[in-house]
Amino acid sequence: MGEPAIFTVAAAGAQAYQWLKNGAPISGATQATYISPPSSTGDSGSSFSVSVSNYLGQVASSPATLTVVPAASIEVRFVAPSGNDLNAGTIDQPYQTIQHCASTIGQGGTCEVRAGTYRETVVPNSNITISAYHFETVVVDGSDPVTGWALDHGSVYKAKVILNSDDTNQVFVGSDMMTEARWPNGDDLFYVNWATAAKGTTGSQIIDPKLPKVDWTGAKVHLWSGQDPFGNQTGKVTSSGTGRIGIDVGQAGTCPFICPAEKGYYYLYGTLNALDAEREWFYDADSTTLYFFAPGGADPNQIDVRSKQRSYAFDLRGKTGVTVANITIFASTIITDEASSQNMVDRINAMYVSQFTDLPPAADDLNGASFSILDVHRKDTGIMVNGTGNTIQNSKIAYSAGSGIALSGKGNVLRNNLIENVDYVGDYASGIDMDGDNNTVQYNTILTVGRQGIYIQGVMNEDISYNNIFNGMLLSRDGGEIYACCNQVAAGTRIHHNWLHDTQALIGGQGDSFPLSGLGIDNGSSGFQVDQNVLWDNKKYNILINGATSTIPNNNHIANNTIPDSSSGAHIGITLVQQCTSTSIVDNKVVSDVTDLNNGNKCMLSNNQSTAPGATEMSVSTQVGCNFSGCASTRPPEITGDSVTSCPVNPPLTGP
């Protein structure tokens, strides 16, 4: 019902047709196919026939009887915090939990969720929609209130609560994350208040005359240290003395690149002895006791203190055709798996999606020689998109110790999202961690990341376009806003129409000579087409192709990009490439020379200069990045003749 009926006839040699309804000619119905107006119940039982004629005469078809079936009504149920799961699910008698609605409603149904906070993990049926009713504010919260506080000492209170015994705990006041107690004190996720290791520091001890005179034995240490610290590492404090601590990072194989060293940066955490400042907390898993120094020295009984209790807001593993829309997610995330397909996440606001603090080596890499510490929680944090044909769009994702979105599978789409303040642990997690094939990443804005905005590994036929990526590499070295590694063959992958800019170190010191680039194709990776991008204000190399002694960066085509940057590190760089084979760098609009540091065969370079075509498809009207509140950033400078207008270069901060 409500849909047109379609009738058709096949007749050889016909010259004229006339369709009839209940024996009466239908005006204008003179073709081989007749499409009726939208049907109603009154049309049910009507007969339709057609008269076909040519010069030999006329013949009538047998009549066809139309049966009109009433349209299936779309099932809509309602959820509200004041409801009851024994209710009927109507707007006047809503359910209380999203889970009850999502697990009982039929295919094609919609759960309309009223304003409020829902502390649950939702595992829905397939082929349903879960949405905020009329854009009301709906929060699915992974945290629960902590109550029953008693004064311990000074302004430090304590409460009994069961939290995780691992490194994934979080404490909040309202929507503000508190800091696990540390020394030196500090709660900025990226402008970290580091301590600096002094002379005499080795792989097994840190020397620092500024160390407070407390027993640090049993605490944890977080380091950003080494000759080329392209990742952070963590370990345990094994002994403590005046001006020194013994440490075990268990990863000697990462040296000399990532390891404790003189002038390396570090902080200590994971001990009650560090709890001495507002906003700090410590959890004793043995006694299930949470200690907390509230903001302003307040009594925690008088404020909204909560702890993380659930990892997932929506569990879509194995689900098909689920839509989640217009919902805020707090202290939890969304997970899919290889069996998930055709799911849609639209207009969500996800904050504090994933948390961890430790970077242990993998079980098969105990000495760290394979640098497994870089991959800790890279693929299982953030919004996890796997499977086939899933979409994340029009959404905000902020605050993750690991990735913002972990993308794998095939044919998935990430479009028009804002991703910020992620990878604050400083491993190889990223704004978008890309794996899989035939995925599309378009119109996203990614900023303020510990390492790269997009990490590409093991991909083919990916489309990475119209993204605005900046302010990355804040806790790392030797990488870029988009970074591809290592020795991969990315056939069919195109990186195009992106803005990649403002990769500047927050802090000076170790590894300053290593790249902080806009785009890095590293360790002999091959098969990338890079075109129509605009790159500027990246500290060292706007584009870098780096080889290795045993790899060949083959079949990379770097063409028609614009680099409006005249700073000393603005080059396109080619380093450690023994054979370029079919790689080419052509028609890029630049004001700095291409730096070719090959020791072997030179790469194909042609027409890379200020008069080259460059990114001819990028104009002032081209949309780059997402298009809602919070997405805006400065537009690129311009090349005029051989000079660049308005290209600021921000110097690094001095060390602590």
51/53 Cα distance (integer angstroms): 7
- Is the bond leading into 25 cis (omega within 30 degrees of zero)? no
315/327 Cα distance (integer angstroms): 15
396/530 Cα distance (integer angstroms): 27
415/320 Cα distance (integer angstroms): 19
pLDDT for the residue 601? 62
Helix residue ranges per DSSP H, 150-253: none
Q: Which of 131, 116, 101 is nearest to 330 (CA)?
A: 116
**Cα 631–Cα 632–Cα 638 angle in degrees, nearest 5:** 135
Residues in the chain with pLDDT values less than 70: 1-2, 12-14, 70-73, 549-551, 598-601, 646-656
Helix residue ranges per DSSP H, 155-225: none
Class of residue 629 by CB neighbours under 10 A (exposed 0-12, middle 13-18, buried 19+): exposed
- Is the bond leading into 256 cis (omega within 30 degrees of zero)? yes
Cβ atoms of 81 and 114 within 8 Å: the answer is yes
For the stretch 252-273, pLDDT in tens is 899 999 999 999 999 999 999 9
pLDDT for the residue 5? 86
pLDDT for the residue 653? 45
pLDDT for the residue 652? 43
pLDDT for the residue 550? 66
Query: In b/e form, how buried is each residue of 466-490, taking b as 16+ CB within 10 angstroms?
Result: bbbbbbbbbbbbbbbbbbbbeebbb
Between the CA of residue 529 and those of 67, 387, 440, 490, 492, what are the distances in Å? 56, 25, 15, 9, 8
* Strand 176-177, strand 179-180: pairing: unpaired
Q: Which of 565, 607, 562, 610 is nearest to 586 (CA)?
A: 607
455/431 Cα distance (integer angstroms): 8
The separation between CA 243 and the C-alpha centre of its own chain, rounded to angstroms, equals 41
Between the CA of residue 22 and those of 3, 531, 599, 649, what are the distances in Å? 19, 63, 87, 80
